[in-house]
Chain A
Amino acid sequence: MTDAELIQAVNEVFIDSFEIPPENVKPDAQIFGDLGLDSLDVVDLVAAIQKRFSVQVRDDERVRAIRTMQDLYNYLILIRGEQNKA
């Protein structure tokens, strides 16, 4: 999966699981502020991402630093790199 494909897949999680209009899912969108997700939605988001990308991120401290969609893309690209190395 290329970076572009990964970004597309992340966007699809937001569009399909949360029914967020595609035009709102932009790299600089704040996940809490602009998209309006709350702490309960984030639990659903983590579950959807774990299912879509077959990764375990629930206990990863780095998840707490994610604020924007771009942060999330970068994090998942990093995770994918770590998985490939392992």
Chain B
Amino acid sequence: MKLSAAPRSLVHLAACCWLNVQVYTLVILLTVLFGVIGLSYAGLHRLVTRDDRANRRLIRRSISWYGACVIRTGWPWVTVRYVDRQPDAKPPFVFVANHPASSDAFLMAVLPLEAVQVLNIWPAHLPVVGFMARIAEYLKPREWPFDEFLASGSRLLSQAVSVIAFPEGTRSGFGPTGNFHGSAFRLAIQNRTPIVPLVIDGNQAIPPRGSFWFRPGKITITKLPAVTAEEYQTMSPYKLKSQVRARIIESLASAPRPVIRERVG
């Protein structure tokens, strides 16, 4: 039996309400749980081992576990699929992703490696996020002199810690992919690090720009083949970022459009 349009929208609204109650309840619980247990354990680990490198690795891994739990809080209305087009590549990488929604930072937990993110100004000043970002040594190129960003990023890459950047700098939502800022590309060039394009699709409404209201959807994160230093060594930073952006846009264009794109915008 098929439902008519009005009951179908009521069912959809009920599902959205349930999804949001479920997501926010679980995220609060997870945040408290990871905050108390994770931070206590990390602090104890630091006191006992006095090994800064191992401690930072533990903190980054804890953040990744937290993110992996958070992105599952919307199940079964929100599902996340990770597609790796080059699983054999060896880290570290500079990952460069499009930025459709604020959930992107959590989605990076699908990457099975140690990584730090490049932060914009406002997330770095959120109470919990800012503190965790500081102890995990996330990079803040908007607040630091560029040389400091390069030095910190290079040090992390030399320790085999990958760097994840959203070079649009702001969420694109349902709009086109914005222009890319070149700082992450210049960091990769300086260290001859492979650049890996990441394509995030399906979370434009999870949540939509300017809203905290989650909608159901199927999110896909696709890790494209890396652009190696040998491939980009003759390119200007401008051309490199333009080519990587073009690859991401091409991949987005070839992806099947989620139904929600037609309803919300």
Any chain A CB within 8 A of the CB of B242? yes
Any chain A CB within 8 A of the CB of B75? no
Q: Which of A17, A20, A41 contacts B182 (CB 8 A)?
A: A41
Chain A residue at smallest Cβ distance from B245: A36
A40 adjacent to B239 (CB under 8 Å): no
Residues in A whose Cβ lies below 8 Å from that of B180: 36, 38
Any chain A CB within 8 A of the CB of B236? yes
Interface size on B, residues (CB 8 A): 15
Q: Which of B146, B235, B237, B245 contacts A41 (CB 8 A)?
A: B237
Contact with B along A38-50 (1 / 0, CB 8 A): 1111001000000
Any chain A CB within 8 A of the CB of B65? no
CB of A38 to closest CB in B, whole Å:
5
Any chain A CB within 8 A of the CB of B31? no
CB of B29 to closest CB in A, whole Å:
40
CB of B233 to closest CB in A, whole Å:
14
Could you tell me the distance between the alpha carbons of A18 and B179 in the complex, rounded to whole angstroms?
A: 15
A18 adjacent to B182 (CB under 8 Å): no
Q: List 30 A-B contacts (CB under 8 A).
A: A17-B236, A18-B236, A19-B236, A19-B238, A19-B239, A19-B242, A20-B238, A32-B179, A33-B179, A36-B179, A36-B180, A36-B238, A36-B241, A36-B242, A36-B245, A37-B238, A38-B180, A38-B181, A38-B182, A38-B183, A39-B181, A40-B146, A40-B181, A40-B182, A40-B183, A41-B182, A41-B237, A41-B238, A44-B236, A44-B238
